Amino acid sequence: MLFSKYLNKYYARYWYFFLVGIFALVAVDYVQLFQPEFLGELVDSLKEGRATAESVFSIVLKLLAVAGVMFFGRMLWRYTLFNASLRIQAGLRREMFLKSERLSPTYYHATKVGSIMSWFTTDLDTIEEFTGFGTVQLVDAFFLGILVILRMFRLDWALALLSMIPMVLIIVWGGLVEKYMALKWEERQGEYDKLYDFTQENFTGIRVVKAFVKETSEIHAFAKVAKKNADCNVSFVRVSVLFDVIIELIIALISAMILGFGGWFVYSTVAGNPISVFGHAINLTAGGLVTFFGYFDTLIWPMIALGSLVTMRSRAKASMKRVSAFLDADEDVRNPENPVVLTDVRGGIEFRHLTFSYPGVDLKILDDVTLKIEPGETVGVVGRIGRGKTTLVTLLTRLYNVPHGTVFIDGVDIMDCDVSSVRRAVALVPQDSFLFSAPIRENIGFSRDDPSMETVRDAAEFADVASNIEEFKDGYETVTGERGVTLSGGQKQRVSLARAYLKDAPILILDDSVSAVDLKTEEKILRNIREKRAGKTTVVVASRVSTVSHFSRIIVLSDGRVEAFDTPENLLKISPTYRKMVYLQELEKEVEGGDTNG
């Protein structure tokens, strides 16, 4: 068996499936051993001329009874053992999915999607195969093997010793190759991860590949990755096949020896001159040889199962190691002891000397940021690209850990708060407007449980996307496609904005979320924010100064530091960065106006 802290609890949970299945399997193993005896009895009775229609019919009935018990027993163990293995797989997959939701973005920065998907698919399939069919092979190799060997020794211990040779050789051979095969399987899975990663990136970035006419070069690159994957597969299969072939060869040689020596022993017994081995005279009849070889033929499956179990266990062990590593991954963002649950949030935000770097990076993204946003205030955040605007607002959602005593909501340190309550208080519209491959109605209503159609339409009106949606053939039932591929950039942004608005959170953050819409639409959205979110805190990160120029106050970031936080009028006097951004934007308008007149 394969034991792990993540598997053991499922063995305990589904013990009754394993108990019934193993009982049925052992019963089948025991009953099927009567077949060689009945066949040997039939041969001897026919050879000695004492067979009658009644005796032959009686033996046939016994064989049919054995077949019937085996039929129902096999149905029972297949249902119970395979049912248990599938339940274990489903339980592990659910556990892994819940774990993936708890892990912070830091983990996903270091781990590619392809690796994670292979853990959820091929590795779990390998574990399911071993806990199901591997259990069958283990029980058969142990119980059936022992029962057969006892019967063989009872019939003739000298021949039984001869037939034990393959068992010993298979055990020794399996012990030698198991660790090597586990390493080869782990190597194979690693190459599969790379293949999945490459494929996933190409499908996601198919527009870029086509736009730069890189189809041919990507095909060649894929061929190299696929060849490495194929070579690893072939290498593993070569070892696996060699292992199986050697086992089959051992079994075939011993079968030939049993038939050869057994025939000689039968001839000697009939001739009245039985062969002696270790002082033991072997008296073997033709029926006895049929019975003995029937036992050995039954023993072939446990021997093959033993060999196959070595291969299967080595793969399952490697896969379980990968799955366990994922489930053991550190959850760096988690609740503190006795967390504070935020309730009745007013929307006050404060940063106190916040300095922040992303995990594993020495570069300071934010440096000594200190500012305070009053409850219900609407503020803007501007600055040149890469100056920490997105990082500043994203930290409010507690996706990353921040130093204690640096970020507060309503005067409460978010590091002391329940993570879920912090995220319930904040609605974020990220730069990357991610949409699920689902109807627009479901994408907008994602932030609430079972929202009404009226609230969905109201949110779409707020984001000024309702008219676009109604122009679609299926309206709000239009499926957006993977990552919203069927919508334009502006439509995706506005659907994401509608989703965040529907959450009705005390704090709404728009991270450059109107950059893909025209000025008229932008003005309408900003007007809706002023009117419909009056009294609630809204933070708008903007690449255009005009987007936030009518807000009461604006934060200006420069190289991760707060250069200024004041009204637009005062910023023109005290902030060089803001003044330059305004100047460049006005210059851009003049150039565009000149082109139009020309």
pLDDT of residue 277: 67
pLDDT band at 199 (very low <50, low <70, confident <90, very high): confident
CA–CA gap between residue 442 and residue 445 (Å, rounded): 5
Say if CB 407 and CB 413 are below 8 A apart.
yes
pLDDT of residue 598: 40
pLDDT of residue 596: 42
Residue whose tokens read 């504070």: 340
* pLDDT at position 368 over 60: yes
Instruction: Tell me the pLDDT tens digit for each residue of 339-362.
Output: 999 999 999 999 999 999 888 777
Of 501, 492, 495, which Cα lies nearest the Cα of 532?
A: 501
pLDDT band at 539 (very low <50, low <70, confident <90, very high): very high
Lowest mean pLDDT among 331-335, 511-515, 553-557: 511-515
pLDDT band at 112 (very low <50, low <70, confident <90, very high): confident
Lowest mean pLDDT among 44-53, 321-330, 349-358, 576-585: 44-53
pLDDT of residue 534: 87
Pairing of strands 349-356, 412-413: unpaired
The edge-to-edge listing of strands for the beta sheet with 507-511 is 426-429, 507-511, 537-541, 378-382, 553-558, 561-566
The edge-to-edge listing of strands for the beta sheet with 366-373 is 366-373, 349-356, 407-409, 412-413
> Sign of torsion, CA 53 55 58 59?
negative
**Percentage of the chain modeled with pLDDT above 70:** 94
pLDDT of residue 266: 79
* pLDDT at position 597 over 50: no
Residue whose tokens read 């949606």: 469
Instruction: Tell me the pLDDT tens digit for each residue of 58-83.
Output: 878 888 888 888 899 889 999 999 99
**Contact residues for 541 (Cβ-Cβ < 8 A; gap 6+):** 380, 381, 382, 389, 390, 393, 509, 510, 511, 512, 513
> What does the pLDDT average to over 31-44?
74
Q: DSSP character for 399?
A: S
Instruction: Tell me the pLDDT tens digit for each residue of 426-454.
Output: 999 888 788 888 888 998 998 888 888 99
Give me the chain's average pLDDT, please: 84
Element housing 205 (H / E): none
Say if CB 317 and CB 2 are below 8 A apart.
yes
Tokens of 169: 């050789």
CA–CA gap between residue 495 and residue 487 (Å, rounded): 10
Pairing of strands 275-277, 280-282: antiparallel
Question: Tell me, what amino acid is at 58?
Answer: S
pLDDT of residue 51: 65
Of 574, 490, 95, which Cα lies nearest the Cα of 327?
A: 95
CA–CA gap between residue 433 and residue 499 (Å, rounded): 11
Residue of higher predicted confidence among 381 and 515: 381
Instruction: Tell me the pLDDT tens digit for each residue of 451-472.
Output: 889 999 999 999 888 888 888 8
Helix (H, G, I), strand (E, B) or coil at 354: strand
**Percentage of the chain modeled with pLDDT above 90:** 27
List residues bridging with 265 in a β-sheet: none
CA–CA gap between residue 447 and residue 467 (Å, rounded): 21
Question: Tell me, what amino acid is at 462?
Answer: F
pLDDT of residue 110: 80
Helix 5-13 with 53-102: angle, nearest 10 deg: 130
Structural domains of the chain ordered from first start: 5-327 (1.20.1560.10), 349-432+506-597 (3.40.50.300)
* pLDDT at position 594 over 60: no
Question: Radius of gyration (Cα) for the chain, nearest Å?
Answer: 36
Instruction: Tell me the pLDDT tens digit for each residue of 152-189.
Output: 787 777 777 777 776 677 777 766 776 777 777 778 87
CA 386 from centroid of its chain's CA atoms: 33
CA–CA gap between residue 542 and residue 393 (Å, rounded): 12
* pLDDT at position 228 over 80: yes
* pLDDT at position 511 over 60: yes
pLDDT band at 47 (very low <50, low <70, confident <90, very high): low
Question: Tell me, what amino acid is at 104?
Answer: S
Question: Tell me, what amino acid is at 523?
Answer: E
CA–CA gap between residue 441 and residue 450 (Å, rounded): 11
Pairing of strands 561-566, 553-558: antiparallel
List residues bridging with 557 in a β-sheet: 562
Instruction: Tell me the pLDDT tens digit for each residue of 261-313.
Output: 778 877 787 777 777 766 667 777 777 777 777 777 777 777 777 767 777 88
Instruction: Tell me the pLDDT tens digit for each residue of 570-580.
Output: 998 898 988 88
CA–CA gap between residue 434 and residue 484 (Å, rounded): 7
pLDDT of residue 326: 92
Say if CB 153 and CB 290 are below 8 A apart.
no
pLDDT of residue 49: 66
Q: Any idea what the Cα angle at residue 199 is, between residues 193 and 201, rounded to 5°?
A: 100
The CA-atom distances, in angstroms, between 19 and each of 25, 70, 76, 84 are: 10, 18, 11, 11
* pLDDT at position 592 over 70: no
* pLDDT at position 244 over 80: no
